[in-house]
């Protein structure tokens, strides 16, 4: 037998019971409407702490690698940011509106330090005095124009455009200086480019906002700006660490591939570059030649004048060769007093002309080297052009044979492989 209860009173009672059961459930079992509210004051403190950690990380980086230029300026940039947000965290309760004005100014000063640090890192001259004067004036003008009692909106808008400008300049200089090998530098350039776009948007947004009731603004725009500051503080520090590591790695590779005495490529680096050039020019069908050079009677120079004088002769010959060779030519020290030059896109006639110019110039210039005037300092050169399917080893072997003939024929001569051309 079924009992149907359809009275309105029973239905109302059932709804009351269901509501009571739902209310009695634990809070963790309820699913309220999703809400997330971030407090501006908490975010300001978080950015101040992040800037402090960034300053500490950059300080460690600077202390570990003080030879890298610009690192100390990056440290001061983070310090300025940390102090700025510490002042903002007080909400004007300690120093009043003046403290907030100083905080805004320190942000621009910090970006100036970062800009100067990047210039030094890239090997450029530091910011000139006129640029520093303009930067300092631009940082102070908002506080002077709007006054300490003015709201943050006007001052923040002006400072946003200043930060945007400096970020754009930093990004531009990094992009122009970065090569294919500078991955970290290009990433940093993109980060600062994004920062410039973000502060442009922030400045335009601030111009449309109504002044807040208190000293500190509230709402979504300040929260987004502070979140961006937090991300930028950490991202820029990471980029700086990556750039410093990239610089150290490139310096290490340079040391491994360079001769410590003369600064030119060593034997290992030469063969790596030569193999690439030979393969490339063989595909294009363009000529390639090599010069094998050996300073004559170098052992006698060392025995008579000492190794210091011998080292100076090697350095002067290197400087002469680099002056006479083209930018695309590969010049290396093979060991002792023996050098080699790889001449891409040079026929044998062009290579012979280069060899003769180098030989004659070295013999003439060495006559004016003070105490060495009594000793004729000359160089013998063997020349060979790439032919057939030979590799770099075979090409160097033929050039070395030509050099051997130049030595046997009296030194201070140029000889062509598989042929004879006397000079001197």
Question: Domain holding 192: CATH number?
Answer: 1.20.1070
Does residue 311 surpass a pLDDT of 80? yes
Does residue 14 surpass a pLDDT of 70? no
Does residue 323 surpass a pLDDT of 80? yes
Last residue of a domain, one of 216, 232, 256: 256
Distances (CA, A) of 181 to 239, 249, 255: 15, 11, 16
Q: Quick check: is 28 in a domain?
A: no
- Mean pLDDT within 343-368: 89
Which band of pLDDT confidence, cut at 50, 70 and 90, is reported for residue 23?
very low
- Judged by phi (left if over 0) then psi (alpha if -120 to 50, else beta), residue 227 lies in alpha
Does residue 203 surpass a pLDDT of 90? no
Residue range of the domain that includes 228: 40-256
- pLDDT for 213: 45
Does residue 103 surpass a pLDDT of 60? yes
* 337-353 per-position pLDDT tens digit: 999 999 999 999 999 99
Asked whether residue 235 falls in the same domain as residue 109, the answer is yes
Q: Count Cβ neighbours within 10 Å for each residue of 287-299 and write b for 16 or more, e otherwise.
A: bbbbbbbbbbbbe
Task: For residue 207, count CB atoms less than 10 angstroms from its CB and return exposed for 0-12, middle for 13-18, buried for 19 or more.
Answer: middle
User: Which among 236, 366, 365, 377 is positioned nearest to 297, based on CA atoms?
Assistant: 377
Q: Which of 37-41, 82-86, 360-364 has the lowest mean pLDDT?
A: 37-41
Rounded Cα–Cα distance for residues 407 and 424 (Å):
12
Beta-carbon contacts of residue 23 (< 8 Å; ≥ 6 apart): none
Asked whether residue 247 falls in the same domain as residue 277, the answer is no
Distances (CA, A) of 343 to 40, 311, 319, 353: 65, 25, 17, 12
Asked whether residue 218 falls in the same domain as residue 320, the answer is no
Does residue 365 surpass a pLDDT of 60? yes
Asked if 232 and 197 count as a contact pair (C-beta separation under 8 A), the reply is no
- pLDDT for 352: 93
Beta-carbon contacts of residue 312 (< 8 Å; ≥ 6 apart): none
The per-residue pLDDT of the chain, averaged, comes to 81
389 compared with 317, residue with greater pLDDT? 317
Asked whether residue 211 falls in the same domain as residue 298, the answer is no
Asked whether residue 57 falls in the same domain as residue 111, the answer is yes
* 291-306 per-position pLDDT tens digit: 999 999 888 888 888 8
Instruction: Calculate Rg over the CA atoms of the chain.
Output: 36
Q: What is the DSSP letter of 211?
A: P
Does residue 35 surpass a pLDDT of 50? no
Does residue 241 surpass a pLDDT of 80? yes
314 compared with 24, residue with greater pLDDT? 314
Asked whether residue 144 falls in the same domain as residue 217, the answer is yes
Asked whether residue 242 falls in the same domain as residue 104, the answer is yes
Q: Quick check: is 390 in a domain?
A: yes
- pLDDT for 205: 81
- pLDDT for 370: 60
Rounded Cα–Cα distance for residues 184 and 249 (Å):
12
Give percent of the chain with pLDDT exceeding 90.
42
- pLDDT for 350: 93
Rounded Cα–Cα distance for residues 424 and 54 (Å):
65
Q: Quick check: is 33 in a domain?
A: no
- Which CATH number covers residue 384? 3.30.70.270
93 compared with 186, residue with greater pLDDT? 186
Which band of pLDDT confidence, cut at 50, 70 and 90, is reported for residue 375?
low
Last residue of a domain, one of 256, 275, 298: 256
103 compared with 20, residue with greater pLDDT? 103
86 compared with 219, residue with greater pLDDT? 86
Does residue 318 surpass a pLDDT of 70? yes
- pLDDT for 371: 61
Rounded Cα–Cα distance for residues 112 and 76 (Å):
10
90 compared with 373, residue with greater pLDDT? 90
- Mean pLDDT within 246-260: 88
- pLDDT for 71: 94
Asked whether residue 173 falls in the same domain as residue 87, the answer is yes
Residues in a beta bridge with 380: 294
Q: Quick check: is 19 in a domain?
A: no
- pLDDT for 277: 87
Which band of pLDDT confidence, cut at 50, 70 and 90, is reported for residue 360?
very high
Q: How many helices (H) and strands (E) does the chain have?
A: 13, 5
- pLDDT for 92: 57
Q: Quick check: is 423 in a domain?
A: no
Q: Which of 193-207, 208-222, 322-336 has the lowest mean pLDDT?
A: 208-222
Strand bridging mode 338-344 / 288-295: antiparallel
Asked whether residue 122 falls in the same domain as residue 54, the answer is yes
SS3 assignment, position 265: strand
Q: Quick check: is 262 in a domain?
A: no
Q: Which run of H or of E encompasses 186? A: helix 183-207
- pLDDT for 321: 93
Q: Which of 164-173, 282-291, 362-371, 377-386 has the lowest mean pLDDT?
A: 362-371
91 compared with 223, residue with greater pLDDT? 223
Asked whether residue 79 falls in the same domain as residue 165, the answer is yes
Rounded to the nearest 5 percent, the helix, strand and coil shares of the chain are 65, 10, 25
Asked whether residue 172 falls in the same domain as residue 305, the answer is no
Does residue 218 surpass a pLDDT of 60? no
How many separate domains does the chain show?
Answer: 2
Q: Quick check: is 407 in a domain?
A: yes
- pLDDT for 9: 57
Last residue of a domain, one of 198, 226, 256: 256
Structure tokens that stand for 161 in this block: 């455009």
Asked whether residue 157 falls in the same domain as residue 252, the answer is yes
Q: Quick check: is 90 in a domain?
A: yes
């Amino acid at each position: 037998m079924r009992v149907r209860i359809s009275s309105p009173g029973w239905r109302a009672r059932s709804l009351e019971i269901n509501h009571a059961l739902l209310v009695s459930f634990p809070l963790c079992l309820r699913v309220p409407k999703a809400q997330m509210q971030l407090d501006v004051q908490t975010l300001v403190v978080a950015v101040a702490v992040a800037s402090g950690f960034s300053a500490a990380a950059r300080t460690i980086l600077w202390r570990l690698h003080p030879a890298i230029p610009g690192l100390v300026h990056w440290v001061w940039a983070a310090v300025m940011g940390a102090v700025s947000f510490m002042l903002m965290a007080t909400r004007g309760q300690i120093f009043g509106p003046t403290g907030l004005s100083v905080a805004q100014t320190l942000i621009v000063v910090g970006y100036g330090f970062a800009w100067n640090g990047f210039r030094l890192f890239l090997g450029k001259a530091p910011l000139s005095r006129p640029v520093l004067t303009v930067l300092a004036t631009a940082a102070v003008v908002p506080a002077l124009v709007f006054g300490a009692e003015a709201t943050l909106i006007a001052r923040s808008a002006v400072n946003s455009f200043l930060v945007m400008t400096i970020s754009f300049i930093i990004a531009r200089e990094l992009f122009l200086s970065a090569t294919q090998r500078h991955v970290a530098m290009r990433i940093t350039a993109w980060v600062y480019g994004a920062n410039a776009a973000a502060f442009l948007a922030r400045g335009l947004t601030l111009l449309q906002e109504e002044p807040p009731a208190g000293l500190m603004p509230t709402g979504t725009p300040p929260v987004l700006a502070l979140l961006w500051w937090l991300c930028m503080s950490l991202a820029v520090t990471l980029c700086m660490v990556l750039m410093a590591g990239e610089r150290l790695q490139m310096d290490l590779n340079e040391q491994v591939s360079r001769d410590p005495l003369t600064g030119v490529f060593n034997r290992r680096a030469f063969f790596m570059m030569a193999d690439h050039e030979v393969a490339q020019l063989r595909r294009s069908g363009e000529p390639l030649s090599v010069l094998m050079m050996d300073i004559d009677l170098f052992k006698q120079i060392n025995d008579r004048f000492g190794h210091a004088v011998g080292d100076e002769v090697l350095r002067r010959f290197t400087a002469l060769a680099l002056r006479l060779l083209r930018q695309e030519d590969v010049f290396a020290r093979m060991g002792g007093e023996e050098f080699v030059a790889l001449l891409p896109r040079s026929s044998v006639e062009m290579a012979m002309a280069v060899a003769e110019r180098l030989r004659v110039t070295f013999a003439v210039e060495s006559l004016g080297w003070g105490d060495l005037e009594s000793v004729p300092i000359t160089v013998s050169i063997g020349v060979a052009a790439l032919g057939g399917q030979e590799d770099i080893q075979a090409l160097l072997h033929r050039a070395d044979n030509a050099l051997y003939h130049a030595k046997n024929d009296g030194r201070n001569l140029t000889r062509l492989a598989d042929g004879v051309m006397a000079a001197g």
